Structure 1
Amino acid sequence: MARSESSREPDSAGFVLPLLLFGSFRAIIDELHAELARQGHRDLRPAHGFAMQAIGRSGTTASELGRRLGVSKQAAGKTVDRLEALGYVERIDDPADARRKRIRLTDRGVDVLRRSATIFERLRAQWAATLGEDRLRDLEADLRELQPHAHFPLDAGSWFGA
């Protein structure tokens, strides 16, 4: 006998899925930042990680960074100002256009991304220990199938007015 809509369990209601996904995302990102703080990177925030990922190994301009993050050039510039003050990025002359500046990761920025990758591997192993490796691989495969983009958008902050 099928359940009616009104008798659906609260934990299977449609609005619960995004909350569970977001809560899990927050848990892993919060643990990452707690570990980075223990390793001496106390001033980093999740938005900084998104920005450094968007800058990438080859660098970018403030305009392009804004597009990648889904924020204005000015908002991207403020994030770059903060990351520059913390020593994670630097502005350099653009060899293709002397009027422009490029933003690139410093050795400290590359180091924190390497540390993050190592921490994420440890956190994934913890999830695998909790869920089982097969279940975690199935979850990852299912989430990839549901991912509507060929790439992972980095502009989550723009959803919340950041």
Structure 2
Amino acid sequence: MVSTEPPGFELPLRLLLGFRVLIDGLHAELARQGHPDVRPVHGFVLQAVGPDGTTAVELGRRLGITKQAAAKHVEALERLGYLQRTADPADARRKVLRLTARGADSLARSARIFDALRAEWADTLGVERLRALEADLRAMTGSTPFRLDVPGWFGGG
């Protein structure tokens, strides 16, 4: 008897494809809104730096990547104007990474764009079906939706 169920490997691929559709949509719109150089990993880095800043060592820990990989991302984001290094007021030898106004702007725009993308999905699927999908995903993935260590998990260093 031939199964009418899709193969098990299709589920993670469809979930990843849904993620990719949303992230590609986000980055296309960010580019239109003045942030053409932001890449998907940059969003994780900027979120991990956060509004209070962090050190490069802590950034690597938060992202689940090596200190060297974190430094590579920091250098790229500094060059693009999204991050800056400042002296730690408590220890002048220590440098604290902070979002620049451009970095904070990209995060604020990202939040609004994600809301717009979610609304597009609601228009396509229907509000109740999207809410059910989100509830089902919460049931299967736990209560914490945002893990900063995704770059390390994907092999980002």
TM-score range, shorter chain: over 0.9
Bigger radius of gyration, 1 or 2? 1
Aligned counterparts of 1:19 and 1:81: Cα–Cα separation in 2 = 32
Shift of 1:155: 2.3
Partners of 2:32 and 2:21 lie apart in 1 by: 17
TM-score, normalising length: structure 1: 0.90
The structure-2 alpha-carbon separation of the partners of 1:151 and 1:128, relative to structure 1 and needing over 3 Å to count, comes to closer
Matched, 1:39 2:33: yes
Counterpart Cα distance in 1 of 2:146 and 2:70: 18
Aligned-partner Cα distance in 2 for 1:40–1:52: 17
Asked if residue 9 in structure 1 is aligned to residue 4 in structure 2, the reply is yes
AA in 2 matched with 1:62: A
Identity of aligned residues (%): 61
Unmatched tracts of structure 2, length 5 or more: none
Which residue pairs with 1:90 in the alignment? 84
Aligned-pair Cα RMSD in Å: 1.5
Whole-angstrom distance in 2 between the partners of 1:149 and 1:55: 22
Q: Report the Cα distance in structure 1 between the residues aligned to 2:69 and 2:53, rounded to whole angstroms.
A: 17
Structure 1 CA distance for aligned equivalents of residues 41 and 109 of structure 2: 17
In structure 1, C-alpha distance between the alignment counterparts of 2:154 and 2:97, rounded to whole Å: 25
Q: TM-score, normalised by structure 2?
A: 0.93
* Deviation, structure 1 residue 149: 6.2
Deviation at 1:103, TM superposition (A): 0.5
Q: Deviations over 1:58-100 (max 9, x none)?
A: 1111111101111001110110111011011110111232221
> Is 1:124 paired with 2:118?
yes
Moved more, 89-98 or 151-160: 151-160
Unaligned ranges ≥5, structure 1: none
For 1:129 and 1:70, the matched residues in 2 are separated by 36
Q: Which has the higher contact order (CA 8 A, sep 6+)?
A: 2
Structure 1 residues 110-121: aligned runs within 5 Å = 110-121=104-115
Write the letter of the residue equivalent to 2:127.
E
Q: Does 1:134 align with 2:128?
A: yes
- Structure 1 stretches of 4+ with a deviation exceeding 4 A read none
